[in-house]
Amino acid sequence: MSKISEESQNLSIRPSNIKDLIAVISCVSIAGISMGFTLPLMTISLDRDGSTGSFIGLIGSMLGIAIVLFSPFVPACISSLGMRKFVIICMLGETLMFVCLFLFPEPVAWVLIRFVMGMAVAGIFIASESWINHLAISSHRGRILALFNISLGLGFASGPLLLIITGTDSWLPFITGACICFVATIPLLLVQDPDMDLESPSSFNQFSFILIAPAYCAAVVLASGTETLMGTFFHYYGSRIGYAQSDMHIMLTLFFLGGLIFQYPIGWLADHMNIPRLLLILGLVCILCIILTFQFAHIILLFKFLLFCWGGILTSIYNTVLTAVGHEYKGADLIAANASFGFLWGVGGLMPLIGGQATQAFQEEALMYVSLALTLLFVVLMIGSLTKAKTRKKNYN
């Protein structure tokens, strides 16, 4: 395990680091806008052209499939090309795919195009998370990563709003997406490659990291899986307990809004607390939120408040894990850890397959049971990790 040296932990923020931070954050947030409206744009277009629900589901799943399959190759690509050049290539690839969506409107072609877009997304996020974690100083890492994820979340959230402006029945939304992705590459032309040690091989790979840090990896599946489950099954749950569709739109928005609001204050806590203990506390609070949310689902104001808190704690767990990884790893190890996270994020994105089967047995309660099971798994592994750390410290002393 590569540890950051004491000297590097005491570095102050240099002007070049600030410029690089701004470049990476702005690049990813702008890219998030285009990615945020890709899926609704494709879904609306396919539905208008008469595609079946199963085919639309296939298009939607291609992103997760591409992330799972391509993430293991990202570290080698970064090592070969360099961080900056690799991200630029991914951004230009995303730009080109938007143009291809317009030029090749055949549904079968869109499956391949969506897969390539998923590969670009995997590369962008694995590289950018590694880059931002490398640039962030230890004393402010939690808050810097919080700002990074907030800007990304705002980009995703504002993406669908563009469809109101561009519409979906012309070439305009596709060209708009291409232009946004192209503009997002410009800040990267103004910075240099980060001074990461990419020549030394990683001491582990993306798959062995799951055995090295199972609790951290479970946190990624928890965040990705729960968010995907909520996006897929919340309306199914809400409609069966009697809520109107307009109410459910607001409730789901509050769930994801909590993920934006909570991140910075909990990022501050990550900069001032023992991170493994903070993660355990967040996991326990998340369990409490899930139980209370579904227990009081029929009290609309309390239900909305609890959804907001649950979403905030859930997203903050992921941000805190990124902070922990940034403290513990550097260079090729940091990239390998983030590649593992990218792979597991894709795995979590497939969680609706389990949720769909669970609805056969538990109906609307399946959303609660699957979400609770994911959170319990994370908490159990976190307790195990803390116990092992305490045992090692005791034996050392």
The pLDDT value given to residue 245: 78
Residue 395: band (very low, low, confident or very high) from pLDDT cuts 50, 70, 90: low
- Is the per-residue pLDDT at 311 higher than 70? yes
Instruction: Specify whether 35 is located in the same domain as 179.
Output: yes
Instruction: Specify whether 214 is located in the same domain as 183.
Output: no
- Is the per-residue pLDDT at 189 higher than 60? yes
- Is the per-residue pLDDT at 397 higher than 70? no
- Is the per-residue pLDDT at 10 higher than 60? no
Residue 313: band (very low, low, confident or very high) from pLDDT cuts 50, 70, 90: very high
The pLDDT value given to residue 393: 63
Is 77 a member of any domain?
yes
Greatest mean pLDDT range, 157-161, 183-187, 380-384: 380-384
The pLDDT value given to residue 382: 96
| H-assigned helices in 136-240 | 141-166, 172-185, 208-212, 214-240
Last residue of a domain, one of 155, 190, 225: 190
Spatial distance between the Cα atoms of 115 and 121, rounded to a whole number of angstroms? 10
- The CA-atom distances, in angstroms, between 84 and each of 24, 196, 331 are 10, 11, 14
Is 5 a member of any domain?
no
Mean pLDDT, the chain, integer? 85
Instruction: Specify whether 38 is located in the same domain as 153.
Output: yes
- Is the per-residue pLDDT at 6 higher than 60? no
Residues 6+ apart with CB under 8 A from 49: 107
Instruction: Specify whether 176 is located in the same domain as 220.
Output: no
Is 147 a member of any domain?
yes
Instruction: Specify whether 87 is located in the same domain as 138.
Output: yes
Residue 388: band (very low, low, confident or very high) from pLDDT cuts 50, 70, 90: confident
The pLDDT value given to residue 164: 77
Last residue of a domain, one of 190, 225, 252: 190
Instruction: Specify whether 376 is located in the same domain as 303.
Output: yes
> How many domains does the chain divide into?
2
Instruction: Specify whether 84 is located in the same domain as 216.
Output: no
Residue 13: band (very low, low, confident or very high) from pLDDT cuts 50, 70, 90: very low
Residue 3: band (very low, low, confident or very high) from pLDDT cuts 50, 70, 90: very low
Is 3 a member of any domain?
no
Instruction: Specify whether 341 is located in the same domain as 392.
Output: yes
- Is the per-residue pLDDT at 212 higher than 90? yes
What is the mean pLDDT of the segment spanning 148-176? 81
Spatial distance between the Cα atoms of 168 and 134, rounded to a whole number of angstroms? 39
- Is the per-residue pLDDT at 83 higher than 60? yes
The pLDDT value given to residue 295: 92
Is 308 a member of any domain?
yes
What is the mean pLDDT of the segment spanning 109-138? 89
Instruction: Specify whether 106 is located in the same domain as 223.
Output: no
- Is the per-residue pLDDT at 238 higher than 90? no
The pLDDT value given to residue 106: 87
Instruction: Specify whether 177 is located in the same domain as 78.
Output: yes
Is 197 a member of any domain?
no
Residues 6+ apart with CB under 8 A from 102: 171, 174, 175
Is 199 a member of any domain?
no
Residue 1: band (very low, low, confident or very high) from pLDDT cuts 50, 70, 90: very low
Instruction: Specify whether 277 is located in the same domain as 233.
Output: yes
- Is the per-residue pLDDT at 51 higher than 80? no
The pLDDT value given to residue 11: 41
What is the mean pLDDT of the segment spanning 311-336? 92
- What sign does the dihedral 81-82-85-90 (CA atoms) show? positive
- Is the per-residue pLDDT at 8 higher than 50? no
How many other C-beta atoms can be found within 10 angstroms of the C-beta atom of residue 10? 10
**Residue by residue, what is the 3-state secondary structure of 358-379?**
HHHHHHHHHHHHHHHHHHHHHH
Q: What's the CATH code of the domain at 285?
A: 1.20.1250.20
Instruction: Specify whether 271 is located in the same domain as 218.
Output: yes
Domain hosting 165: range is 15-190
**Worst-scoring range by mean pLDDT, 20-34, 214-228, 265-279, 335-349?**
20-34
- Is the per-residue pLDDT at 7 higher than 90? no
Name the more confident of 148 and 278: 278
Cβ–Cβ under 8 Å, residues 333 and 202: yes
Is 10 a member of any domain?
no
